[in-house]
Chain A
Amino acid sequence: MTAVIRTENLVKRFGHVTALDELDLEVAEGQTHGFLGPNGAGKSTTIRVLLGMLRADGGTARLFGSDPWSEAAELHRRLAYVPGDVALWPGLTGGETIDVLGRLRGGIDKRKRDELLERFDLDPRKKGRSYSKGNRQKVALVAAFAADVDLLLLDEPTSGLDPLMAAVFNECVREVAAQGKTVLLSSHVMSEVEQLCDRVSIIRKGVIVESGTLTEMRHFTRSQIHAVLKNPVRGLGDHEGVHDLRTEGLEVRFHVDGTALDDVLAQLAVAGIASLTCEPPSLEQMFLRYYGDELAAKGVDNGNGD
């Protein structure tokens, strides 16, 4: 598989602030790639470097194998972008905006445009200044999905959309993915990323701290186990992969590292299992784990504990 997006040691500074600190990101062709991180972690900065709006201060960035800064205009033919905060021209209607953006890339498929307008329930005759945030977002989404491109860069695209429209958005992303197009989806909505993305990268303070498929990432994080045993089990608390153990008679609850799952289950089997539930960590729990120390500093439970 070839990489559509690849950055190596990407650095971007704004004055004294280092927004991207040797960031490595790779998105393969045909992938729907989730890009997670709190506000200010560097998601939008990364995307803007990839769009050639910001010039990298170090490292390399490649889009379809070319330099996104020097080849910006050519590369943009192959991609569509939805910014996190869509600003529209106050005097242009939504329909005019969608048409202009489409024509800039050489024409728009009218049928597709009208179909998308219908699906997103958007009135194209309203002026830009009178749209609500959600409706501005829809204008940019219709323009992006109507474009015939290989790559979609979506920066928190569902912020401001109601759940109904978020569902339409999910459907659109699935269709695009089914056509073999690549999607980079930056989001705060974990359920959205869990449903749509094959791979996920978690960014923190300008560095990718974790990248992989959800299955891979689960393997490296903790599952929650609740078991009722036939006989008491000994030494479970001594196992270094077991955390937050609570025992009530024959009932045990604990978190276990993905790597220690084999050992621990074998230990339980020796004692005899009456019932067992094993809950893999949600993406939200994994995400919070990477920010655990930050949250702890703010007095918030990191969600992996009890």
Chain B
Amino acid sequence: MATATTARSTLREGSLGTLAGTGKLLRFQARRTRVYLTGWFAGMIGGTLAIAAAFPDMYATPDERAQFATTVDTPAMRSMTGPAEYIDAYAQSGAAMFAHQMILWSTLVVAVMYILLITRLTRADEETSRLEVIRSQPVGRRADLAAAMLLASISAVALGLLIGLSTLVMEDADFTGAMLYGLLHTAVAVTFAAITAVTAQIAGYSSTSNALAFGALAFGVLMSMVGNAQENAAVWLSPFGWAQETLAFTPEQNWVPIVVAAVVSAVLIWLAFALVARRDFGQGLMAARPGPATARAGLRSIGSLSFRLSRGLLWAGIITMVLLGAAYGSIVGGADDMFETLSETQRQIFEQEGASITEGFVVTISLISAFTATIFGLLVIGRARKEETGGRGELLAAAPVPRSGWPGSYLPIALVTATVASVVGTVSLALTGVGSMGEWSYFDEMLIGGLVHLPAIWIMVALAFACLGWLPRAGWLRWLPWAYVFIAGYFGPILEFPDAMLSVSPYEHVPSYPVEDLDWLPLVVLTVIAAAITAIGYMGVRRRNLQFS
């Protein structure tokens, strides 16, 4: 009896009621996510450093920046960057220009990072009953959420600090501005962590929780774009808008948006804590709806099943590529105006081989679109591997389905997904591009300029499939070629990669239509190589052991 009383009282004294055990869980969660956090930190800080280091050289003098500022001050360009106050500060400070170009995209990445982190630590653990083991320990009902939010907040502060310090490599960057630039990242990170803490209580499954949080993210991006294009208060409805309204590195810099973010986050966190104590363990506030008792008639082959399981990626690809195409297409028309502002040397670079500035711009945009469309093909291949490690494929591998059907059917689906994403993005670019130029004659050029990249995309997808066939455990190997090719294509010219290093990339061999003539030979060769890699991939898939958990 005496021991029982002691045990109970120590539990009470050493605890905070429903928050008991938060400290221990925080250490545990920090340990579990150290690889995840390290990866994202490295990417964010490396990216900031690299771009901040390269930025001053691109527009070195106040004159060049002032000229560039006049081309950026259009609704379309503002929607892709940020408020006009930055543009006014271009001439004075290269750092202001850097902040203007970077904030939306940089904070977008941070938002994605924190949405995934919080769902992973809360709803995903609850769904897989990992949290059940933890909750059976002497920890409070709110401790895991509290630990997750603490981890998010602490890491967000550290990330903001490091990003801020990274910007100091720019000569124009002052310390206060750098701290504000870092802190606005912290603010966006904490805000989206708080949003996700709420969606994780509403949704019963981690996929739904992520979907709701990404919905909030899309709304934020849209409001920022609309608000900045039309210069109205819609910006203030968006966490990204708050980040932009800090006006970091400009003379008008403003700390109020940080306070707004802190207040909104506090309210959301309070709401999440109220909800977590109110609902049952393992349940969301959204009731699960029953589905169909029988499969639809179309769901009858291994191909249709694999497609059904990965069609979400196809839709994600289509939406992303349409938006990307429309965003770029809307500024194609301004390319010639932009050209007017360039210095004599810069004109020469673009004017090579007698091509127009618009045509050069189309080539660059098409390449970026092709890189992006490839991602969706690689993601489909990743799904095939997930089916295997998740053990679901075991039911299919035991069915009368050859290896070419499972996991083989994922290759055609990946190819179709990447192809459709690319075609849709190209059409979107061509249509909006024609609209912004007011001239239909460019439609064909832009369409073909995009479609010529397809054979290169096919090679990348086939390569990922071959890795699945021969080295299935090395998931990173599926992404390494893409990362290399992206760096070579995007930064290679700036970093002056030798030709041999560039020519490894299939995208290097795609004719730069409409700047160059359309040469069919490389396209045929690339397609043949893609087919050969596909055959090698199928050989690997046929001969290896399947690895179910």
Contacts and interface: CB of A to CB of B under 8 A. Distances in A.
A74 B402 CA distance: 8
B205 A90 contact: yes
Given A90-B207, A103-B299, A104-B400, A125 B291 contact: yes
Interface in A74-128: 74, 76-77, 79-81, 83, 85-93, 95-97, 99-101, 103-106, 123-127
Given A76-B398, A88-B392, A100 B299 contact: yes
Contacts of A83: 391, 394-395, 398, 548
B300 A103 contact: yes
Interface string B525-549: 0000000000000000001111011
B2 interface: no
B14 interface: no
A140 interface: yes
A77 B400 CA distance: 5
A87 B394 CA distance: 8
A76 B403 CA distance: 12
A73 B396 CA distance: 10
Interface stretch (B44-52, B301-309, B356-364): B301-309
Interface residues of B, number: 38
Contacts of A52: 397
Contact of A53 (B204, B291, B295, B397): B397
A104 B292 contact: no
**How many A residues are at the interface, by size bracket?**
35 or more
Contacts of A91: 309
B401 interface: yes
A124 B293 CA distance: 5
Contact of A93 (B292, B308, B399): B292
A51 interface: yes
A226 interface: no
Nearest to B289: A127
Contact of B295 (A95, A126, A153): A95
Contacts of A90: 205, 207
A104 B396 contact: yes
A74 B401 CA distance: 8
B475 to A, nearest CB: 19
A27 to B, nearest CB: 17
A51 B398 contact: yes
A96 B294 contact: yes
Contacts of A103: 295, 299-301
Contact of A104 (B293, B401, B545): B401
A265 to B, nearest CB: 50
A103 B296 CA distance: 11
Nearest to B288: A130
Interface string A212-238: 000000000000000000000000000
26 contacts: A51-B398, A52-B397, A53-B546, A53-B548, A54-B545, A55-B543, A72-B402, A73-B401, A73-B402, A79-B398, A83-B548, A86-B391, A87-B392, A87-B395, A95-B292, A95-B294, A96-B292, A96-B299, A99-B295, A100-B305, A103-B295, A103-B299, A104-B302, A124-B293, A126-B290, A130-B288
Pairs of residues from A and B, 5 with the lowest C-beta to C-beta distance, nearest first? A99-B295, A87-B391, A81-B398, A125-B290, A93-B291
Interface of B: 127, 204-205, 207, 288, 290-295, 299-302, 305, 308-309, 390-392, 394-403, 405, 543-546, 548-549
